[in-house]
Structure 1
Amino acid sequence: MNKLLCMLELQQTLNDATNGKGWEKGTTKEGKSINWRRCIYMESAEMIDSFGWKHWKSIAQPTDYANLQIEIVDVWHFVMSLVLEFTHIHGAESIQELATRISQTPEFQKLNQDDTLSFGTDALLMTKIENVMRLSLIPISAEMVGALIEEFFELAHMGALNMTQLYRLYVGKNILNQFRQDHGYKEGSYIKIWNGQEDNAVMKLAWENNPEMTPADLYSALKTAYPA
């Protein structure tokens, strides 16, 4: 399975469903302005809160590495959305061609290895996060998009994620978000606690029980577990 292509296609589908067809033009179906660069730097700022960086408050706060990885995945949603938007506007390549080109970069190749990973130092991680923020603040161009992808992959690697782990965390959240929308999340009728477990925990357990399942399989597993 081409995990990168799968994630790009899932993000395209999610954006189409949530924002409406043609979201690449910069507005949702309700006419709300879309700014993926702002999404990236605001989520990156939240990522920094995983660290006890405040020298005047809670100085003994330990780094929450589990939350850091979740925030990395959240930023990945928006990085892919920006890349898909830029690619669509300029009509340079298909999603398949985009995935092939990205997969040939050294940063992706490093992330695609299943070697034992470890977290970078907090100082280096925060510098890398701030690099992602800095890139998201400059005018968009092919060079900016390419550099942003490279910096993100390096951040993910420093955050002890390889492509398999990034894929599982991303797909899990993507499919759960789709499932929530399909079962009354916006209307307020969605049930978040399933037989004593939060839906996030049910989703993670489904992955653990079957690590090789497809996104469609995960959706089916959630549908089976959901309390009617």
Structure 2
Amino acid sequence: MMKQQLQVMLTLQDEINTLVNDNWRAQNFAWYRAIWVESAELLDHYGWKWWKKQQPDMEQVKLELVDIWHFGLSLELQQGAPERVAVSMLQALESGRRAPGDFRENLETFTLNTLASKQFDLVGFAQLLADTTMSFAELYRRYVGKNVLNRFRQDNGYQEGTYLKHWSGREDNEHLAEIANQLDSAAADYSDQVYRALQTRYRGAVRA
């Protein structure tokens, strides 16, 4: 199941990158830099300021981890097709059981490794998942939902400025969350189901 879900995510990432730029692999975008910036935003949501009271916003922390995963998948896809990349990624992700640790320190180690190598520190990312008790199944569900929403926005005029981010009185992220909770993320066509459900809701709202 994990290998299948990994291949699905890699394929979806390849498709959304291609939608934005047909020749994205040859552009050598600085994905590692995006990971670094997202990591800083993630730390702000978790909290690090000793001079004020802070509580980790774990929902935002997980959302930022999913954003980092988008860029990490893109870095991995620079090495080849989804089917090939999935094999090496799976080995790294399964290389030992990880116990939760000091999230801030592990995040800094992950970021340092990413900056030093300009590659995705898969082992370090797996540790961050363990630190936040985020299962691979949850990562998959959250990633597919966000990826499908990004594609849906592009398909419905996001770049042209004609897409409505708020419809039927709510933001599209809220519609997505509701749809995701109603569907079986283990289904082979889960991403297609999410897209069709978004499309049905959006078209109904626009026509109303």
Deviations 1:7-59 (A, max 9, x none): 011111111111x22211225xxxxxx21110110110110001231233xx1
Provide the residue aligned with 1:21 in structure 2.
22
Identify the match of residue 194 of structure 1 among 150, 167, 173: 167
1:69 CA displacement:
0.5
Q: Which TM-score applies when normalising by structure 2?
A: 0.87
Aligned Cα root-mean-square deviation (Å): 2.0
Letter in 2 for 1:17: L
CA contact (8 A) 1:44 1:129 kept: yes
SS at match of 1:178: helix
Stretch moving more, 182-191 or 164-173: 182-191
Letter in 1 for 2:24: W
Q: How does 1:59-70 map to 2 (within 5 A)?
A: 59-70=52-63
Return closer, same or farther for 1:102/1:200 CA change in 2, 3 Å cut-off.
same
The count of aligned residue pairs is 199
1:194 CA displacement:
2.2
Matched, 1:71 2:64: yes
1:108 CA displacement:
6.4
Matched, 1:100 2:101: no
Identify the match of residue 43 of structure 2 among 40, 44, 48: 48
Identify the match of residue 82 of structure 1 among 75, 87, 97: 75
SS at match of 1:190: coil
Letter in 2 for 1:79: G
Return closer, same or farther for 1:109/1:201 CA change in 2, 3 Å cut-off.
farther
Provide the residue aligned with 2:197 in structure 1.
221
Letter in 1 for 2:132: G
CA contact (8 A) 1:26 1:35 kept: no
State, as a whole percentage, how many aligned pairs show the same letter. 34
CA contact (8 A) 1:36 1:78 kept: yes
Identify the match of residue 113 of structure 2 among 129, 135, 151: 135
Q: Which TM-score applies when normalising by structure 1?
A: 0.80
Runs of 4+ in 1 over 4 A off after TM superposition: 108-111
CA contact (8 A) 2:93 2:122 kept: no
Return closer, same or farther for 1:41/1:106 CA change in 2, 3 Å cut-off.
closer
Return closer, same or farther for 1:209/1:3 CA change in 2, 3 Å cut-off.
same
Identify the match of residue 178 of structure 1 among 145, 151, 164: 151
Unaligned runs of 5+ in 1: 28-33, 89-93, 112-117
Letter in 1 for 2:17: N
Return closer, same or farther for 1:106/1:9 CA change in 2, 3 Å cut-off.
closer
**Aligned-partner Cα distance in 1 for 2:176–2:154:** 15
Unaligned runs of 5+ in 2: none
Letter in 2 for 1:52: G
Letter in 1 for 2:122: I
SS at match of 2:45: coil
Stretch moving more, 45-54 or 69-78: 45-54
